[in-house]
């Protein structure tokens, strides 16, 4: 902490107090490239190489944006696996995550300023026209105030900021007359009713058409909101006020921030994750820098930069001091309790905290930024992406990855601060991983599970708003961008707001701030933003020397020891507290300690609390270890080439794919489709992977029937139409209670939506080949070369007529099989004795990976996972008012194929380039 703010760690002294008018200029210095100072360490990257990578980013953006515009627009988001738009109310609800979707063409608005940064001015002009022509902000839909603010209001303001910049340049946007700003103002007024609480903290959700109060609004009964939700408004709201002169927006956002500041826990100076919007009581008292709090801190510092108001910096510095004192345990950032900040609240970290090193760069605290970033990078190198949550010993805790941009953001800011080409190499790895593992024919798909490499039918708008912007800027030289990026500040969604707003319509600047700062000492006025041009003048290896000791932190260490134990206890020679993992009920000393816990002192009570917490976590972990991790079904034949990976449930019997090589084969529907009796089409499934429908008999029975017919594997497809691993917890198929050693083939389970991707593929292509494995195989050129194994070559020699008849036969089989399956085949409606036996696995249990546990334990016997369940079941909400005019656009398969061919060519080109 002492290194912050241009203090010793920044390598050069800055005034304790600077006139605020210098702030914008100083902030701009934070973003000045320091490439010129780097002389050693990672090999410098040539201008050509940087340009090549920049062009690759452009091509990737075109792939994502082009597919969205072609197949999803005007829907809010693209569903890249099924190649259509996600329209709220027309897809199964995903809970809170759907609150970002307001039927306002979210992805288009979120992409506006990215188009300008990426030099696509013509496309920007077209996109702005489309927004003005098509977007309706008056939909009867309940949206998140936070998401609508950062993505839509921020997107419109970012678009406006760059539209007026372009207009002033004199070539593009000459027709523009502040129309985006007018839309932003309209949206701002729509959000204001959310602030109608006594605290001034906004309700978390609002109906765009009916607001909060009216019965039609279907919202307004919530009592809690997250700290980031209430504290991430000031940049957009103040910009709106300053652009328009309507001060009310800035006033409301300031009031919410003032209230949060008042409610901080006074002894620790930390804030909790959720707060009651009426009483101001902390509902969740854990505190970190990731999910639920992240951008509250970000906006305090950036509000100071944009608005030049000292009070924001003072608050930020106070919180930052607390973060560095309690939460930061370099390279880790671990949540603590706000009232007992020496007590860790968790043993895992979430992916959202990856933005923090970037914020530390803006703060000027480079060392911990380098350390945390390096730790995160090693987690990425292990799993290809940052899992949504990972443990303190760097194992996957929650395996999803929705293509979040935070790590790319921090990489960009660290490169700007250090000029170290190492960060360019990091960016190159991010690009490679995105293309290798997330790119699908119709865009980029979120990772459902970073360990199996399976996909989710989801491409969030922030992927276009942020990821491509930061990656492009990382490799761009000043002359590659048509305006000066240093004149702008990035919002949390990476929208650009001009720094000149700091001197416009400042009526609110000095008003409404709390005045407790007399109790703060000078350290609260540390000035931020090191001048990166002279940051490491004498030590170009500075960043490398910080990274070096952390090089093997993920692979070789067991950093459980890093978890905080009260340092003062150790210092005073006291015995370390009893940990749950060491507890033995037969040990009298342990029993004695247990008795004392909670009785004698607050320290004992603290130990008791932690002990209980650990016991719960331990027992949950033990349960988890009996569960099998999910598996992957990868479609490897033309035109998929391994790019579509489906999440599959494992079976407790048959070949264990984690121990054996994957099974690869063409698929064939079994007949009868439910696989509950001897197959009548053994010749069709012989040597293939049989598709069987769930229901009517036990999974093991199906397995035996297809095995007897000569199948080399089986995929059971859920008969519950519309089910999907996006919305239902995956489960493992249990045996039949008898010995299942006779079942030798691998069996996997797919929900209906994932299964229909394979069934659709069979209808379109003569033969579909899949790979069953515990982890998707790399999509390398080899896979495309392997495209034509002999059986397929044979089939390719068949005449077109034969092909058609095979295809018809498959259709027929499907049709007949489906007809054979009675309507009441749903397993749950049958008696336990003759139904599938499904052992359900919760989402976080899906992430338990015994293989990985074993691997870690063998490295260091002390490593025992104490993870708790991360994910609360998201509440489900049915949007009662699907907008019928937003019909699903389903792309004809021929045109998908044509697109894919184009995509494959581009991909091949890229791979050649790499070679």
Instruction: Give catalytic residues, as residue numbers.
Output: 147, 294, 388, 406
547 binds ligand DMJ (CB under 6 A): no
CB of 227 to ligand DMJ, least distance (A): 12
CB of 493 to ligand DMJ, least distance (A): 5
CB of 409 to ligand DMJ, least distance (A): 8
197 binds ligand DMJ (CB under 6 A): no
With contacts defined by CB under 6 A, name the span among 399-407, 587-595, 657-665, 729-737 that binds ligand DMJ.
399-407
Which is closer to ligand DMJ, CB of 331 or CB of 405? 405
- Are the beta carbons of 525 and 18 closer than 8 angstroms? no
Could you tell me if residue 103 is left (phi over 0), alpha (psi between -120 and 50 degrees) or otherwise beta? left
Which is closer to ligand DMJ, CB of 489 or CB of 748? 489
493 binds ligand DMJ (CB under 6 A): yes
114 binds ligand DMJ (CB under 6 A): no
Q: Which of residues 232-271 bind ligand DMJ (CB under 6 A)?
A: none
With contacts defined by CB under 6 A, name the span among 12-20, 87-95, 402-410, 866-874 that binds ligand DMJ.
402-410
Interaction pattern, residues 317-356, with ligand DMJ; x per rule: CB under 6 A: -----------------------------------x----
295 binds ligand DMJ (CB under 6 A): yes
DSSP codes, 347-383: SEEEGGGGGHHHHHHHHT-HHHHHHHHHHHHHHHHHH
CB of 494 to ligand DMJ, least distance (A): 7
Which is closer to ligand DMJ, CB of 320 or CB of 355? 355
CB of 228 to ligand DMJ, least distance (A): 7
Among 195, 444, 462, 488, binds ligand DMJ (CB under 6 A): 462
Can you list the pairs that 801-810 forms with residues at least 24 positions away whose Cβ atoms lie under 8 Å?
803/766, 806/766, 807/763, 807/766, 810/668, 810/669, 810/762, 810/763
Query: Could you give the CA distance from residue 613 to residue 626 in angstroms, rounded to a whole number?
Result: 21
CB of 146 to ligand DMJ, least distance (A): 8
Q: Which residues of 671-684 are buried (b: 16+ CB within 10 A; e: fewer)?
A: bbbbbbeebebbeb
Q: Which residues of 774-813 are buried (b: 16+ CB within 10 A; e: fewer)?
A: bbbbebeeebbebbeeeebeeeeeeeeeeeeeebeebeeb
User: What is the rounded radius of gyration, in angstroms, for the C-alpha atoms of the chain?
Assistant: 28
Which is closer to ligand DMJ, CB of 327 or CB of 352? 352
Query: Could you give the CA distance from residue 166 to residue 798 in angstroms, rounded to a whole number?
Result: 58
433 binds ligand DMJ (CB under 6 A): no
Paired with 332 in beta bridges are 329
With contacts defined by CB under 6 A, name the span among 400-408, 582-590, 762-770, 825-833 that binds ligand DMJ.
400-408
Nearest to 96 by CA among 166, 143, 49, 28: 143
DSSP codes, 613-669: HHHHHHHHHHHHHTSPPPEEEEE-STTTTT-EEEEEB-BSSS--TTTS--EEEEEEE
Nearest to 439 by CA among 244, 239, 644: 644
Which is closer to ligand DMJ, CB of 352 or CB of 593? 352
- Are the beta carbons of 734 and 839 closer than 8 angstroms? yes
Q: Which of residues 131-150 bind ligand DMJ (CB under 6 A)?
A: 150
Which is closer to ligand DMJ, CB of 1 or CB of 430? 430
What Å distances lie between residue 33 and 412, 483, 590, CA to CA?
Answer: 10, 15, 57
Query: Could you give the CA distance from residue 735 to residue 731 in angstroms, rounded to a whole number?
Result: 13
With contacts defined by CB under 6 A, name the span among 135-143, 398-406, 437-445, 877-885 that binds ligand DMJ.
398-406
What Å distances lie between residue 32 and 13, 95, 511, CA to CA?
Answer: 18, 41, 32
492 binds ligand DMJ (CB under 6 A): yes
Query: Could you give the CA distance from residue 311 to residue 317 in angstroms, rounded to a whole number?
Result: 10
Among 63, 84, 346, 404, binds ligand DMJ (CB under 6 A): 404
CB of 135 to ligand DMJ, least distance (A): 19
Size of the site for ligand DMJ (CB under 6 A): 9
With contacts defined by CB under 6 A, name the span among 278-286, 404-412, 572-580, 651-659 that binds ligand DMJ.
404-412
398 binds ligand DMJ (CB under 6 A): no
CB of 410 to ligand DMJ, least distance (A): 12
CB of 353 to ligand DMJ, least distance (A): 11
- Are the beta carbons of 440 and 644 closer than 8 angstroms? yes
- Are the beta carbons of 297 and 323 closer than 8 angstroms? yes
What Å distances lie between residue 427 and 37, 471, 473, 475, 643, CA to CA?
Answer: 20, 7, 10, 8, 22
907 binds ligand DMJ (CB under 6 A): no
Which is closer to ligand DMJ, CB of 235 or CB of 712? 235
Which is closer to ligand DMJ, CB of 69 or CB of 494? 494
Which is closer to ligand DMJ, CB of 404 or CB of 704? 404
CB of 867 to ligand DMJ, least distance (A): 22
Which is closer to ligand DMJ, CB of 113 or CB of 606? 113
Paired with 77 in beta bridges are 86
With contacts defined by CB under 6 A, name the span among 403-411, 504-512, 584-592, 905-913 that binds ligand DMJ.
403-411
Binding site for ligand DMJ (CB under 6 A): 150, 295, 352, 404-406, 462, 492-493
């Amino acid at each position: 902490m002492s290194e912050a703010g241009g203090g010793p760690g920044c390598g050069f002294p800055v005034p304790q107090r600077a006139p605020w008018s210098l702030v914008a200029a100083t902030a701009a210095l934070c973003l000045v490239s320091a490439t010129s100072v780097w002389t050693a360490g990672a090999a410098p990257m040539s201008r050509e190489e940087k340009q090549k990578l920049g062009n690759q980013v452009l091509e990737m953006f075109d792939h994502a944006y082009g597919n969205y515009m072609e197949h999803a627009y005007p829907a809010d988001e693209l569903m890249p696996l099924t190649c259509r738009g996600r329209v709220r109310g027309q897809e199964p609800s995903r809970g809170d995550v759907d609150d970002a979707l307001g039927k306002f063409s979210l992805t288009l608005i979120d992409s506006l300023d990215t188009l300008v940064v990426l030099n696509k001015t013509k496309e920007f002009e077209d996109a702005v026209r489309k927004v003005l022509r098509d977007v309706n902000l008056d939909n009867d839909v309940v949206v998140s105030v936070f998401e609508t603010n950062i993505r839509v209001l921020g997107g419109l303001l970012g678009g406006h900021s760059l539209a007026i910049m372009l207009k002033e340049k004199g070539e593009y946007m000459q027709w523009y007359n502040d129309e985006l700003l007018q839309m932003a103002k309209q949206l701002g007024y729509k959000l204001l009713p959310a602030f109608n609480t006594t605290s001034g903290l906004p309700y978390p959700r609002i109906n765009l058409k009916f607001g909060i109060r009216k019965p039609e609004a279907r919202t307004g009964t919530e009592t809690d909101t997250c700290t980031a939700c209430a504290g991430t408004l000031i940049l957009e709201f103040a910009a709106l006020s300053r652009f328009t002169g309507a001060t009310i927006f800035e006033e409301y956002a300031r009031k919410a921030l003032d209230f949060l500041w008042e409610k901080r826990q006074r002894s620790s100076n930390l804030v909790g994750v959720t707060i009651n919007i009426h009483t101001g009581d902390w509902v969740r008292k854990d505190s970190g820098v990731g999910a639920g709090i992240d951008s509250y801190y970000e906006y305090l510092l950036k509000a100071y930069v944009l608005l030049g108001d000292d009070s924001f910096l003072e608050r930020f510095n106070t919180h930052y001091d607390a973060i560095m004192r309690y939460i930061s345990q370099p390279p880790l950032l671990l949540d603590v309790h706000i009232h007992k900040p020496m007590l860790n609240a968790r043993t895992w970290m979430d992916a959202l905290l990856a933005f923090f090193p970037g914020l530390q760069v803006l703060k000027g605290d480079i060392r911990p930024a380098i350390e945390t970033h390096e730790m995160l990078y090693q987690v990425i190198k292990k799993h290809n992406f940052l899992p949504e949550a990972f443990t303190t010993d760097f194992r996957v805790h929650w395996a999803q990855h929705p293509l979040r941009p935070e790590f790319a953001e921090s990489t960009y800011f660290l490169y700007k601060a250090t000029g170290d080409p190492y960060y360019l190499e990091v960016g190159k790895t991010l690009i490679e991983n995105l293309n290798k593992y997330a790119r699908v024919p119709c865009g980029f798909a979120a990772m459902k599970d970073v360990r199996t490499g399976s996909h989710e039918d989801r491409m969030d708008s922030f992927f276009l708003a942020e990821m491509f912007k930061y990656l492009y800027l990382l490799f761009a030289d000043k002359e590659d961008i048509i305006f000066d990026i240093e004149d702008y500040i990035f919002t949390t969604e990476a929208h650009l707001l001009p720094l000149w707003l700091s001197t416009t319509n400042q009526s609110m600047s000095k008003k409404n701030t709390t005045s407790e700062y007399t109790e703060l000492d000078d350290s609260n006025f540390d000035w931020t933003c090191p001048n990166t041009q002279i940051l490491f003048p004498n030590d170009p290896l500075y960043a490398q020397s910080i990274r070096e000791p952390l090089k093997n932190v993920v692979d070789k260490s067991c950093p459980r020891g890093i978890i905080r134990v009260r340092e003062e206890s150790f210092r005073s020679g006291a015995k370390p507290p009893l940990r749950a993992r060491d507890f033995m009920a037969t040990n009298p000393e342990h029993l004695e300690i247990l008795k004392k816990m909670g009785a004698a002192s607050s320290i004992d009570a603290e130990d008791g609390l932690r002990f209980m917490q650990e016991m719960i976590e331990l027992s949950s972990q033990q349960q988890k270890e009996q569960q099998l991790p999910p598996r992957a079904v990868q479609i490897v034949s033309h035109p998929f080439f391994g790019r579509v990976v489906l999440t599959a449930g494992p079976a407790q019997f048959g070949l264990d794919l984690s121990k054996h090589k994957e099974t690869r084969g063409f698929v064939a529907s079994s007949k009868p489709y439910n696989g509950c009796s001897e197959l009548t089409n053994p010749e069709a499934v012989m040597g293939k992977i049989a598709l069987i429908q769930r229901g009517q008999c036990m999974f093991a029975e199906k397995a035996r029937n297809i095995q007897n017919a000569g199948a080399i594997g089986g995929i059971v497809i859920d008969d519950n139409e519309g089910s999907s691993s996006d919305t239902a917890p995956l489960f493992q198929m249990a045996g039949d209670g008898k010995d299942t050693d006779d079942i030798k083939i691998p069996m996997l389970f797919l929900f209906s939506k994932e299964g229909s991707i394979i069934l659709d593929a069979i209808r379109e292509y003569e033969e579909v080949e899949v790979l069953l494995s515990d982890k998707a195989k790399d999509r390398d050129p080899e896979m495309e070369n392997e495209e034509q194994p002999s059986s397929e070559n044979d089939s390719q020699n068949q005449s077109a007529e034969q092909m058609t008849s095979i295809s018809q036969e498959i259709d027929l089989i499907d049709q007949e099989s489906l007809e054979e399956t009675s309507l009441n085949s749903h397993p749950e409606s049958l008696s336990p004795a003759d139904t599938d036996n499904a052992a359900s696995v919760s989402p976080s249990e899906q992430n338990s990976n015994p293989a990985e546990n074993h691997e870690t334990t063998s490295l260091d016997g002390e490593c025992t996972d104490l993870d708790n369940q991360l994910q609360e079941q998201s509440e489900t909400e049915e949007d009662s008012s699907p907008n019928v005019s937003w019909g699903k656009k389903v792309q004809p398969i021929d045109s998908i194929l044509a697109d894919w061919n184009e995509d494959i060519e581009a991909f091949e080109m890229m791979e050649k380039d790499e070679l």
